[in-house]
Structure 1
Amino acid sequence: ARALRAGGETRTLDQLRADVALDLLLGGQGGKSERSEVFLYMDLQTYLGLNDDPAEMAGHGHIPASLAREIAGGSNTVLRRIITDPLSGQVLDLGRDRYRPTAGLDEFVRVRDRECRRPGCHRVAQACDLDHSLPWQFGGHTADTELIDLCRRDHRLKDEPGWNYRLGSDGTLTITTPTGRSYDSSPPPLHEPRDEEPPPF
């Protein structure tokens, strides 16, 4: 629209934008830069044609399995593996196709860690970098089980040769230095431990 305006066009910029958008929608003459993005949720068995369960298109609702397979089979389609909890259906892992975490995952890790995970550093997590404890290039995943908060200085230190970071299933981070010494860091609890039995009313 700005390029058209520069050529002595009498329409306003907003009018040009509306006309260009309408032209793209009706004629599809936008060239190679034209790209649409839809999010389609369907299970592997539906994708493989083993069942005909409907899929869900974000912002639209359910669509027939045959249409979902046709969309998923497009030449420029990007498929992403998403692992969910079989009981709750909650997302557990976004696979390796996504380097940056979602906003919800980012917030979860920052709330969990509360501060930089290097022992002795108390920089608030909201001012830290979110980093893969197992580097992405070595097979790290974008999941809460592998993401940690590190201040910028400690993030750079982690990438130096000889440093090893391992995040346990309980959230304990073990840092091994180039000299072989190990240090543990656990996220601080959000409240004091509570009795197993609730107090009487």
Structure 2
Amino acid sequence: MTSNGDHGLGGEGASGGSPHADAFSVFAEALDLAHASDVARVRALAELGWSALREARRDGVRGMASDMELRSVAAEAAGMARLTDRRLQGEIDHAMAVIDDYPAVFDAWVQRRIERGHVDVVVRVGAGVPDEVRDSFAEAAIAVCERDVPSRVRAALDALAAQLHPQTFTERHKTAAAERCVRVFHGSDGMSNLVANIPTVIAAGMLDRLTQMGQSVKDARVEGADGAEAAGAVGVHADAVASPAGTDAAPDVRTMDQLRADILGDLVLGGAPVVDPTYGTDRAGGLGAIRARVQVAVTAETLMGRDDNPAEAVGAALIDADTARQLAGQVSEWDRLFIDPVTRTPVEIDTYRPTASMKKLLMARDQHCRFPGCQRAAIRCEIDHTIDHALGGHTHIFNLAHLCQRHHSMKQFTKWEVRQVGGGILEWTSPLGRVYREDVPIPSVCFTIDTADPPRSRAGAGKPPGGPPPF
């Protein structure tokens, strides 16, 4: 599939050709503008990265200083673009890789021989290609991309990279296995994708075991149904066999996909891993005792069942009201915070470290990192003195705020400045003088659930035992 950049349709088409000629002409102009804009954006992003590196190295300083300068520049640019600084820094890194490492690919894109999607795939696949064969890979990759659309070139590029790589597949696998990881990508309707980058044989084995377990559940379901039919034949009420005595549980009609997902959740949240260093003693092991923690923010009205608005798994995404109430019902201890709704009367101590009550108050107030746009949950953040304690800053509710490690370090080591203007509101000033106001999140009830039992759709789900705690 080739493109030479000539999108003109000519006067002949406009006068007696396609009735859509004018519309296609407008679309072609839009494609030209989008292409020019994309190229200009990549160049500008790369220039931001180069500028940050030049500034960091001006006095011969490298390492952490370079990273902090790049973080600072990314945060400034993110404010301009209304994106998160993490995403913007990723775009800067990608733009520098395209122009610095793949100049031939970049030129082919500028000339409209390939599309932006091709460039992204080439850079992604080429990340594992050694420097000494990168130019050869790039030239061959361009030829592959010119023949097909971006969504269909990945396999061919993978094969090309494998052919050119001087290392054996076994050697590369060892390197790749060292980068194994687990990530979460949040979706809509209270759902997320949990993605594990692990060796293929482990992934295949996990899927097989989950399938076997799911099949066992299905077999038990069939056996239960057969037992109910047999019981009916001898005059025993079928419900007494299909369900345990004294229960009214609904029949299990989950599909295999649903069973695999539920079993995976049970194993991760409630199982003791084989890698537990204390496994094999006379107890379950230290890792088996660890329970998942999820910070949930929910309004009092939703918690009490007065509405069904979604709650928020802080730092993640929205969850449905029934799940939030079900999780709330599993919390054994609640701390009520009495705060003046108008003045939010401050609490202050003379020591450096805030008290447990102050930490809970701050967690309920902040919910997440207080740098503009950052959604890292408060339970994964550090409590920072806005005015440093060593410089006379008090351990006071309105001189404390949650910052994630990234933005805590950026506050310390770059020219970004922050001050609290009252009511827990933070005002950040960038190195260029731009001001970003970080308001206090919407007031809500906040709790952290330690759970080994993932919520499922069951009869009566959403009705926590005993109901929500009294307020």
TM-score (norm 2): 0.21
Q: Which has the higher contact order (CA 8 A, sep 6+)?
A: 2
Higher helix share: 2
**Structure showing greater Rg:** 2
Which structure has greater strand proportion? 1
